[in-house]
Amino acid sequence: MKSITDDLYESFKKNLESVNGNCMRTPKAELGKVITELFKEHNIDSVSLFESPMLREARVISSLQQNGITVHTDHIRLHAETDKGGLSEAQHGIAELGTIVQEQDDVDGRIVATMSEYYIGVVKGSTIVPTYDNMFDILSGMKKIPNFVGFITGPSRTADIECVGTVGVHGPIEVSIVIVDDE
């Protein structure tokens, strides 16, 4: 399996940072440490986490718990409103937008990305495509499109009729994306 090229990573990072998102790249072996450090830097002590094979393999839950962070993986609807952090794996990324793409049938996978004040999205480097059109080619080629396809680009932003902008009304105040190099 190929990993992300340096040029594609730099494009993704530049475009995410242009909308006030944060981006970093790590090997899977360091993923638990990187995520734990990000949550600690943001003073997050409670996290809603939607499990995935990659997060399990990287032992992210045990890394967080060993560092005093409470992790909720069950009954996320009950905890997401009060957990300050959210974590899930995205299925794709779009470099030209600095966007991750969630393809979910499970509501818990969607909630962790929208209810927390600080969200960390994790995406495999090999699943990042250069353009929006490339992503739609992938979606249109699926035999069954998931119940939900969400495009997440940086922190939530909205404005009122007088164009007064606000961050965090319809989603997280801060977003970090961790791109994991394939091994």
What's the CATH code of the domain at 127?
A: 3.40.50.10420
Specify the pLDDT at position 153. 86
- Asked if residue 163 belongs to a domain, the reply is yes
Whether 131 contacts 96, CB under 8 Å: yes
Angstrom distance (rounded) from CA 17 to CA 43: 21
For residue 155, what pLDDT is reported? 64
- Does residue 54 sit within a domain? yes
Task: Answer for the pair 90, 16: CB distance below 8 angstroms, yes or no.
Answer: no
Q: Specify whether the CB–CB gap between 13 and 43 falls below 8 A.
A: no
Inside any domain, residue 53: yes
Residue 156 domain flag: yes
- Judge whether 91 and 103 are in contact, CB under 8 Å: yes
Structure-block tokens of residue 94: 């779009």
Spatial separation of the C-alpha atoms in residues 112 and 165, rounded to whole Å: 23
Whole-number pLDDT of residue 81: 83
CA 107 to chain centre: 15
User: Of all helices (H) and strands (E), which one includes residue 60?
Assistant: helix 60-66
Main-chain phi, psi angles of 144, to 5 degrees: -135, 120
Question: pTM of the full predicted structure?
Answer: 0.91
Give the total number of structural domains in the chain. Answer: 1
By CB atoms closer than 10 A (0-12, 13-18, 19+), residue 32 is: buried
CA–CA dist 87, 71 (Å, integer)? 10
Tokens representing residue 182 in the block: 């394939």
- What pLDDT was estimated at residue 161? 64
Q: Is residue 1 part of a domain?
A: no
Could you list the pLDDT tens digit for every one of the 183 residues in the chain? Answer: 467 889 999 999 999 999 999 999 999 999 999 999 999 999 999 999 999 999 999 999 999 999 999 999 998 988 988 999 999 999 999 999 999 999 988 888 888 888 888 999 999 999 999 999 999 999 999 999 888 898 888 665 555 666 666 555 556 778 999 999 986
Q: How many helices (H) and strands (E) does the chain have?
A: 7, 12
Domain range enclosing 123: 6-181
Tell me, yes or no, whether 25 lies in a domain: yes
